Amino acid sequence: MDHFLYKSGLLHAEDVPLPEIAAAVGTPFYVYSAATLERHYRLFVEALAPLPHLVCFAVKANGNLAVLKLLGDLGAGMDVVSAGEYLRARAAGVPGDRIVFSGVGKTRAEMRTALEGGIRQFNVESEAELRALSDVAAAMGATAPVAVRVNPDVDAGTHEKIATGRKGDKFGIPIGRARAVYAEAARLPGIAVTGIDVHIGSQLTALAPFEAAYRKLAELTVALRADGHDIRRLDLGGGLGIPYTRSNEAPPLPADYGAMVRRTVGHLGCEIEIEPGRLIAGNAGLLVAAVIYVKTGEDRDFLILDAAMNDLVRPSMYGAHHDIVPVAEGPPGAPTQPFDVVGPVCETGDTFARGRELPLLAEGDLVAFRSAGAYGAVMASEYNSRPLVPEVMVKGDHYAVIRRRPSFDEMLKRDTIPEWL
Ligand code: LLP
């Protein structure tokens, strides 16, 4: 459930009509609902409540400081994958002991940043990284708390580009080698083992792959404890999928996920960490755009929007579906027609949807892409020298710009022409 509903024929974000924001901010823009973010975060907390737990929001899904502050103030931890994300979480007021650091390629400089600022745990993905982290920590006179990310060889059954738990994927340590790696970790001076980590992919629409992975994790916990390791935390990763269409998708709910977590690892007495990104932010955000032109093609009509693949790359990158809805709702039974919905960028890949059935829209009309709150603004670029899209947060009947649109002047000023040119 989200808080983007039609009231008096106009799509609202909570109590604010979207045309009001469009008039003030210009299009395109992202808009997030504070109430929806909060609700989705609380669903996870409730789902895990019987167990000691920390819900760490995956900052990669939406790194805006206002979003992180909202979640951090509710008690959320953060899952970060770069020094930049770490610094964002800290700038949003999240203490280091609620931040886990994931990712296959942490640099020594990034490790230092996190150790200096305070960190709950590094999720380490290779023996090489383990040794580097030990060196960095030992040189600082510190000890790095570590969970080793294991690769359980489970197929998440999701899009090829976002499945991460199969043995050929670049992520984690093969689960069969885990005991040897933990033995090495125990010998390293700068490392303190605290737990085990797993993340098998994103946009999972079934519980079975999670369940298979978590059962393997439970077995490994028992084996590692028998080897003398202090396994206190299990980081179960993120990945729970969301419905991208209103009609035919029904991914498992956080409550079902929580019950499965209790069933598979609840008996181990570990603190449970999870790293959801998409489920918290995805359906808490829209991308709002305006129609620039309606173009009649050879055999189809194109709706040319002022948003493009650089603003929301998921359709061109993953073939992802986003529902597109008119901001002004037509009367019931109003005629529709199929449109190819495209942006102004100069490649055919800049296509959001083909043959999408929409009302008879005209120049200047507003449309909204649903489910754009996760992996939307964070993946935007300035391709075609298009300014990064602004972001707006709504809470009740008020809103604020939480990232403004840069001016062309600012964009130009970032480049330097060498004096010898
Ligand atoms: N933890 C780790 C270690 C991850 O790699 C990810 C996502 C998450 C947590 C959060 O997963 P979520 O709950 O959001 O599914 N750009 C792609 C998604 C990439 C996901 C990468 N890792 C997309 O737009 O679909």
Same domain, 17 and 115: no
In a domain, 190, yes or no: yes
Name the pTM for this structure: 0.97
Is 38's C-beta closer than 6 angstroms to any atom of ligand 1?
no
Among 346, 354, 407, 410, the one annotated catalytic: 346
Token pair for residue 26? 């210009």
Residues 6+ apart with CB under 8 A from 52: 270, 271, 272
Decide if pLDDT at 249 tops 80: no
Cβ(237) – ligand 1 distance below 6 Å: yes
Counted domains in the chain = 2
Tokens of 63: 């790194």
Q: Could you say which DSSP state residue 212 is in?
A: H
Protein residue with its CA nearest to atom 6 in ligand 1: 238
Asked whether residue 391 falls in the same domain as residue 314, the answer is yes
Rounded CA-CA distance 150/219 in Å is 12
pLDDT of residue 167: 82
Q: Are 312 and 380 within one domain?
A: yes
Is ligand 1 within 6 A of the CB of residue 64?
Answer: no
* Average pLDDT score, the chain: 96
User: Could you tell me the residue range of the domain that residue 186 belongs to?
Assistant: 103-274
Q: Indicate if 258 and 134 belong to the same structural domain.
A: yes
Average of pLDDT values for 75-95?
98
Is 42 inside any structural domain? no
One domain, residues 309 and 213: no
Cβ neighbours of residue 48 under 8 Å, at least 6 residues apart?
Answer: 55, 258, 261, 272, 274
Cβ 375 under 6 angstroms from ligand 1 = yes
Centroid of ligand 1 to alpha carbon of 61 (angstroms): 7
Nearest residue to 94 via CA among 41, 48, 43? 41
Q: Is 357 within the bounds of a domain?
A: yes
Residue 148 shares a structural domain with residue 266:
yes
Closest CA to 90 of 81, 101, 99, 103: 99
- Atom number, ligand 1, closest to the C-alpha of residue 375: 24
Peptide bond into 276 cis (omega under 30): no
- Quick one: pLDDT at residue 248? 64
CA of 27 to the centre of ligand 1 (A): 27
Position 289 pLDDT exceeds 90: yes
- CB 102 less than 6 A from any atom of ligand 1: yes
Last residue of a domain, one of 226, 256, 274: 274
- What pLDDT does residue 1 have? 64
* Res 330 pLDDT > 90: no
* pLDDT for 4 beyond 80: yes
**Whole-number Cα distances in Å, 396 to 35, 37, 43, 144, 367:** 8, 13, 20, 42, 21
| Higher local confidence (pLDDT), 416 or 331 | 416
pLDDT over 90 at 363, yes or no: yes
Of 247, 274, 301, the residue that ends a domain is 274
DSSP 176: G
Same domain for 315 and 266: no
Residues 256-284 as b/e (b if ≥16 CB within 10 A, e otherwise) read ebbbbbeebbbebebebbbbbbbbbbbbb
pLDDT digits (tens, 9 = 90+) for 149-176: 999 999 888 888 887 888 888 889 999 9
Q: What is the dihedral of CA 284, 289, 294, 298, to 10 degrees?
A: -60
Q: For residue 200, name the pLDDT band (cuts at 50, 70, 90).
A: very high
Helix axes 65-73, 83-91, angle to 10 degrees: 60
114 lies in the same domain as 217 = yes
pLDDT tens track for 344-359: 999 999 999 999 999 9
How far apart CA 239 and CA 313 sit, in angstroms, is 19
Please give the C-alpha separations between residue 265 and each of 164, 190, 232, 336, 363, in angstroms, as whole numbers.
21, 28, 12, 50, 55
- Provide the terminal-to-terminal Cα distance of the chain, rounded to the nearest Å: 56
Q: Are residues 119 and 202 in the same domain?
A: yes
Q: Is 346 annotated as catalytic?
A: yes
CATH number, domain at 259? 3.20.20.10
